[in-house]
Amino acid sequence: MTRYPRDMTGYGRKVPQANWPNGAKIAVQIVLNYEEGSENNILHGDAASEAFLSEITGAAAWPGQRHWNMESIYEYGSRAGFWRVHSLLKDIPITIYGVATALARAPQQLAAMKQAGWEIASHGLKWIEHKDMSVEEERAQIREAIRLHTEVVGTPPRGWYTGRCSMNTVDLAAAEGDFAYVADSYADDLPYWTRAGGKDQLIMPYTMDCNDMRFGIQAGFTNGEQFESYLKDSFDMLYAEGEAGAPKMLSIGLHCRLVGRPGRAMALKRALQHFMQHEGVWFATREQIADHWAKEHPPVKGLTPSDMDKATFVSEFGGVFEHSPWIAEGAFELESGPTHDNADGVHNLLARVFRSASEDQRLGVLTAHPDLAGKLAAAGRLTAESTAEQAGVGLDMLTDEEREAFTELNDTYTAKFGFPFIIAVKDNTKDSILEAFHRRIDSDRETEFAEACRQVERIAELRLQEKFGS
């Protein structure tokens, strides 16, 4: 099987009930990134100056040189911006994404964070790019970030967010740290579990849309009103979903040097006032949400076809299409991955093989199906699935008259079309099956062949839903 590692499904239609404390309709989670003093700078041993997320349009790294304007913009964040944001948020539970080397250069700011009771999560060792690092180098950076964070803050971090990450970051962070959550994802409005670093790791998705970083990019916010409006609209949409019974998490990302500017801070203040005018709003740290989620929704191990070898896959799904394991064998060879680890995903794989098969092959699948209430049923020779399905609508308890009627219809239908009458009995009753029998027996063969194939796919779909408990 060709593995496609991305999970494009997530919770799908089965969004879990968040059960936020006190019946809250929404969880509002605010992150303040503390990066000032950890950005690219030759003073920090880097090859060039910083070029990311500043007021300088089209900024470029200056190899081997310090960049006075860039440095002073970052210094604004630590000298003025932090304190302005602190005054707005000091009474709200928020999370700091603290870069370890930046925290080491900010004793007064760190003391203020701790006095406010804010969670201080790790934002890595330095605010630099990680995509080109070797696994060994990035692992060493994570280890040193945890060590330095623990030394500077006094406690180890329970949350991790690299931000400028690599394809190895989540696995490495999960393996190296005892984290309640890793936040390097933007994939959902709710926390979710994944396998990373050899264990079940809770992922707390972050945001790039409700994020003041959009003041520092060309396709972003140009004034505070746009930022405020976007935060309010995001809140209102999620709040309405919570009122409708599906509470979510609103994640907001802030930076001292960006939202700390007066015009932007005023927009943040107005957005906060809007949030607070509503009842049932839970302001929480990411740590609090992660602990709540782990308690309410611990990881559950279900069927994971993407982890199966071929023999296991065929053993598990070879009987879904009646007596046709070749369909499961073909499905195993198709591209699949975590997004197929559900009834819909496996059904799509199996159905693709069935639909692409020759007419003779599909006819073989049709003829593998037993007659309804026929001789095989009477002899007790049906598959377990067929036995349960027929019994579910009472076809195992027919009167002599009903059995005779089914036998006559079966014989007439099979003689006309060359395959048995097939219908998804779980969608029907005994009476509706008889009605369909009488109606379909007058079809032409092409029409009925197509209908029988659709019914075979539907039977497989229902069997998989039962197998996956959905």
Residue 274 in tokens:
């809007």
List the beta bridge partners of residue 166: none
Biggest distance spanned by C-alpha atoms of the chain: 95
Residue 323 bears catalytic tag = no
* Rounded CA separation 276/269 (Å): 11
* Rounded CA separation 382/211 (Å): 59
- Mention every residue, 6+ apart, whose C-beta is less than 8 A from residue 262: 84
* Rounded CA separation 153/137 (Å): 24
List the beta bridge partners of residue 120: 96
* Rounded CA separation 92/86 (Å): 10
CB atoms < 10 A from the CB of 391, how many?
Answer: 14
Q: Tell me which of 123, 340, 369, 438 is the catalytic residue.
A: 369
Q: Quote the distance between the C-alpha of residue 172 and its chain's center.
A: 19
Residue 377: half-sphere exposure toward Cβ, Cα within 13 Å: 22
Q: What is the DSSP letter of 13?
A: T
Which residues are known to be catalytic? 369
